[in-house]
Amino acid sequence: MQANGLAIVGITRFSVISPRTLFAFEKTQCAIDDARRHVHDPRRLSRRFALFRAFPLPSMAEIARRHPLFLYAVLISADLPWRWKFALHWMAYRRPWLRVVTVPQDEHISNVSAKVVTTFAGHRRSFNFRIDDDDALAPSFLDAVLQQSEVSTDDVVLSFGEGFYLQAAGPGALKLQERKYRNSSVGLGLFSSNARIKSIYALGNHRKVHEVRPVVDVADRHYWISTIHSDNDSSKAIPKSEKAIPQDVARARLAPIFPHLDLEQAFAALVD
């Protein structure tokens, strides 16, 4: 297997809302109109866009800089408010490795994303992975994917089991917690070949992916940041007993692992 010939596709769902996605998140398990009002709330979208620019976007830019065969697919709904739709398309116009993809109301995200991977990969072997619009990946993620591509067969899932939870904790302070998380959604990805490409989203709940595919857990270092804030789509928390630390301390801890992030911008995006 030639690592340099591996087509890599990152996939983010940016506020996708449809009858097929209602039960994907705790806060949208309601009538479609109520879910749409929640997801398209201007304050929420402004916050999610700030997080997107601060965390996943620079992480994907770093992969694109180092690996020519990379595509970042940002999935949106057709009815995403024009301001945010325009902003995302303008980002894609300036970044040839970024593609904004509209998910039809009657289609599964797994089918749409699989088509994106198939078209981009062509006859090459591929690895497609998920990343939320408020999370980050370390440069070591790409190194691990390329290394594992040499030894992992098709239909193997890579899980990156160590990272950080990050949360604002008052003026100039943060909570930073090291996490070990089996089958974390951040960077969770699937190796495939063209004849049978599947999207990582086709495998269902990320916590149960080991029940449907063989999983290689890569947990030799910290690979991700998962952010905690008032607009999280699903419940997660840092224990109240975890002490807040000054931003300078958090910066000293994170900067060597995530040198591509503008941590000032990232910390500011976390503040309510």
* The token pair that represents 250 in the structure block: 């958090």
Query: Is the confidence at residue 3, as pLDDT, over 90?
Result: no
Contact 155, 190 (CB under 8 A): yes
* The token pair that represents 36 in the structure block: 């749409």
How large is the average pLDDT for residues 25-35?
59
What are the structural domains, with CATH classification, of the chain?
3-270 (3.90.550)
pTM score of the predicted model: 0.92
Contact 75, 101 (CB under 8 A): yes
pLDDT, tens digit (0-9, with 9 covering 90-100), for 79-127: 999 999 999 999 999 999 999 999 998 899 999 999 999 999 998 999 9
* Overall size of the chain counted in residues: 272
Contact 62, 143 (CB under 8 A): no
Residue type, 72: Y
Q: 80 exposed, middle or buried (CB, 10 Å; 0-12, 13-18, 19+)?
A: buried
pLDDT, tens digit (0-9, with 9 covering 90-100), for 205-246: 888 889 889 999 999 999 999 999 988 866 677 888 899 999
pLDDT, tens digit (0-9, with 9 covering 90-100), for 171-208: 999 999 999 988 899 999 999 987 678 899 999 888 88
How large is the average pLDDT for residues 158-177?
96
Residue type, 136: A
pLDDT, tens digit (0-9, with 9 covering 90-100), for 40-59: 999 999 999 999 999 999 99
